[in-house]
A and B are shown apart, each in its own frame.
Chain A
Amino acid sequence: MSKEPVAVVGIGQTKHVAARRDVSIAGLVREAARRALDDAELTWADIDAVVIGKAPDFFEGVMMPELYLADALGAVGKPMLRVHTAGSVGGSTALVAAQLVAARVHGTVLTLAFEKQSESNAMWGLSLPIPFQQPLLAGAGGFFAPHVRAYMRRSGAPDTVGSLVAYKDRRNALKNPWAHLHEHDITLEKVQASPMLWDPIRYSETCPSSDGACAMVLTDRAGAARAPRPPAWLLGGAMRSEPTLFAGKDAVSPRAGRDCAADVYRQAGVTDPRRDIDAVEMYVPFSWYEPMWLENLGFADEGEGWKLTEAGVTELDGDLPVNMSGGVLSTNPIGASGMIRFAEAALQVRGLAGEHQVERARKVLGHAYGGGSQFFSMWLVGARPPES
C-alpha cells in the first residue's frame, strides 16, 4: 500500500493589493483559479474536486462563503471542502487537497485560499469580547511582540536583526509582480526609522493587510505526465497543533512547529535541513520571526538563527534564501498567505519564479503558522518525484 505521488502543475495568484474594489469575492477567487488552470493548461471540466480555505469568516462578514463561491469556482456537481485552521489555513488547505490525490480519491484537485480584507475589518473581526474566554488581542502584533522580546533576550540577538529581515523581504518583493508592497525607495535607514508599533516591532517590520487569492492545481502521476510545464512534487507534508496557552509552552520555539518539521523531513528523507533544503518560503508576519523559525525548523541551532540573517545567508543570493517572493511582510491576504508560501515554494522548484528565482532550487520548504503560534502546516516540494 503506497500513496499516490502528488504534483503541483498549476499555480495562480491575483495581484495582491490593499483593496480590490473592482471585483467581488467571487471575482477575486475566480481570477486566481483561472490563472492556475491556465498554467496547467486545463479547463474547469478537468477538475474533480475543490478544496478552499480562508481565515475567520468575520474577515469578510460572510458565513461559510464557499457555499456562495461554488459557482465561481466551477464546483457545481463536484465535491467542495472548506478548511479553516487559523493563519496556517492556506497551507492546511493545500495539504487536505493533496491528501485527496495521495489517497486516490481524486485525480486532479483545485485548491484555493483567499482573503478580501477590504470587505470588512480584520482587526475587529479578531476582537469580539466574550466573557470568561481568552480573547485574542486587538491586532496580532500585540500578541506576538512579547514573544519576539523573549527571543531577543534568550539569543542575545542585536536589535537590528529585525530590520535586516524587513529590508530584505521588501526588496525581494520588488522582483515579484504579484506582491502587494512595492517600495521602490526602500532603504535600511527608512525601515529603522519607521514608527515603533509594538516594541520591538516597527511599522516597516509588520505585514500589510491585503486582498488576494492563490490557487493551485494538484494532480497524480498521470496528470503530471500530461502537464505542459515542469511539475513540483510533494516530498513531505504535515500539520501539527498545540493549545494556545498552557504552563510550559515555549512561545518562542513551539514544539508543534518542531514536530511538524521533523515529520516532513522524515517523509522526505531529509536528515540535515540546512544542507538538504535549498530555500524556504516561511510565514514571517513580523520580521523577527525569520530567525525564530530558522531555529524552530532546524536550519540553525537554538540562539543561532539571527546569525544566518545577519550574515546574509537568507538573502536572495545567499546560501539559504528565505522568502524570495517578499513573504508575508510584503503580502498578507491572511487566509491565502500560507498557500502563497506553499505555491511560491512550488514555483521555485518548477523554475518558474521569474525574477525572484533561486538558481538550482531542487527542494524548497513552504511553511505556515497560525493562532497563538500553535497551528503549523508545512510541505517540502522537489523538482523530482519522490522515490517510491
Chain B
Amino acid sequence: MTRDIAVVAFAQTDVRRTTDELSEVEMLMPVLHSVLDRTGLKTADIGFTCSGSSDYLAGRAFSFTLALDGVGAWPPISESHVETDGAWALYEAWTKLLTGDADTALVYSYGKSSPGSLRDVLTRQLDPYYVAPLWPDSVALAALQAQALIDAGDTDESALAAIGTRSRRVATLNSHAQIRGPVPQGDYVVRPLRTGDCPPVGDGAAAVILAAGERARELCSRPAWIRGIDHRIEAHSLGVRDLTDSPSTRLAAERAGAFERPVDTAELHAPFSAQEVVLRKALRLDDSVRVNLSGGAIAANPMMAAGLIRVGEAAARVHRGESDRALAHATSGPCLQQNLVAVLEGEPR
C-alpha cells in the first residue's frame, strides 16, 4: 500500500516566557482556528485527530482532556494522544492516513513550561531509581554532551557561541520566536554552556493538518509531501551512549530516505547549541543546506511543540515555494535520546 500524504497547513502561537493569563486550552484555541481556516476545514471535516502534550508540564493528570473539550469533539471524533512532542502525534496520524481509514488529520501539541522550574521538572524523565534521585537537570546533561564534543575536537566554545548567535539573528525574521536578535553570550549556566548556548524557557502551541492524495491538492496549492518519516530511540543511560554522535537520528534519516538526494532546507530540533553540531554530523548536512531559518529551538523551545514546529516550519517553506526538499527533525528525552526525521517535498513548479 502506498498513499501520498502531505502537510497542507501549519499554525503556531508566538512563544512567550509566560502566559499566566491563559490556560493551555486558551493558548491552543487560536492555533486550531488558524490552521483550520487555512484549509477551510471545520472540526467535523477532520478524519482523525492526534495531539501531544505532557501532564508533568501541566501539573495535573489527564491534562489533555481539557484541550479536547476545546477542539469541539462533538459529534464524537476519532482521536488519540501521545505523551510526548507533537511530532510523534504527527507520526501516528501519518500511519492512520496510510491505512486509508482517514483522508485528513488534525495534529496539535502544546506546552506551558512557565508555571514550574523546567530544569527540575525534566529530571523526572530520568531513570527513577538510579538517576532521578540525584536531580541532574537538563542543562547539566546537555553540558556533559557539549563537553564531550569539545573533548573530541568536534567544536569549541566560540563555535558553539556562533551557532546561538546565527540562530537568533535569523529569528528576527520569525515573529513567533521568543528570542529574536542578538543577546549577550553571558556567563556559564553549566560549564561549558553559557546562556547563549541554551534555549529560552517558554510557552507555545502548534498545529498541522495532514491530507492524503487528491484531498491534499484540494486543500493546499503546494502540499509538502511526506516522502519519508521515521523515528528511533537510543539507550536511556548516558553512560552507554556516545554523546558526540546520534545514531538514532542517522538511522531515522536513512529510513526516511533523507540521504537518497540532497535536501535544500533543514529544521533541526536542537535546543542546545552543541546539539546542532551532533545533528549536522549525523545528518551529513553541509553548508549548502539552509539550517534553521526559523531560528530553531534555541530561539523558541516550547516543550512538546518545538518538534512539531520544526515539521511545520519545513512544510511552510515548501508551501511558499522556498524549498523543494526539506528535512525536519524532532527530539525527545535527555541529550537527544529519541529522534524523528521527516523528508518533505514540493512538486516541481
Contacts and interface: CB of A to CB of B under 8 A. Distances in A.
B231 A79 contact: yes
Nearest to B337: A67
Interface string A231-260: 000000011111111100000001110011
A96 B60 contact: no
Contact of B61 (A56, A78, A134): A56
A70 B76 contact: no
A99 B76 contact: no
A4 B83 contact: no
Contacts of A245: 69
A132 B20 CA distance: 13
Contacts of A132: 23
B281 interface: no
A83 B82 contact: yes
Interface in A89-116: 92, 96, 99-100, 102-105
Contacts of B128: 25, 60-62, 65, 68, 119
Contacts of A4: 1
Q: How large is the interface on B (under 10, 10 to 19, 20 to 34, 35 or more residues)?
A: 35 or more
B18 interface: no
Contact of B99 (A79, A83, A99, A126): A99
Contact of A81 (B66, B82, B337): B82
The residue in B65, B91, B100 that gathers the most chain A C-beta atoms within 10 A of its C-beta is B65
Contact of A103 (B72, B74, B99, B248): B99
Nearest to A267: B101
A65 B49 CA distance: 24
A320 B23 CA distance: 46
A128 B61 contact: yes
B236 A70 contact: yes
A84 B83 contact: yes
Interface stretch (B119-127, B151-159, B168-176, B315-323): B119-127
Contacts of A215: none
A77 B251 contact: yes
A78 B64 CA distance: 27
Contact of B124 (A63, A130, A133): A63
Interface string A64-89: 11111111000111111111111000
A126 B59 CA distance: 11
Contact of B64 (A2, A84, A99): A84
Contacts of A246: 69, 74
Contacts of B99: 3, 99, 102-103
Nearest to B131: A68
Nearest to A98: B99
Given A68-B127, A71-B236, A100-B95, A241 B73 contact: yes
Interface of B: 1, 3, 23, 49, 54-56, 59-62, 64-66, 68-69, 72-84, 88, 91-92, 95-96, 98-100, 121-122, 124-129, 132, 230-237, 247-248, 251, 332-334, 337-338
Given A64-B84, A67-B233, A77-B251, 5 more contacts: A62-B125, A80-B338, A128-B59, A128-B61, A239-B78
Pairs A-B, 9 closest by C-beta atoms: A56-B61, A256-B76, A103-B98, A84-B83, A63-B124, A241-B79, A63-B56, A242-B76, A128-B60
11 contacts: A3-B1, A24-B129, A25-B128, A66-B84, A67-B233, A83-B80, A96-B92, A136-B62, A239-B80, A240-B78, A243-B74
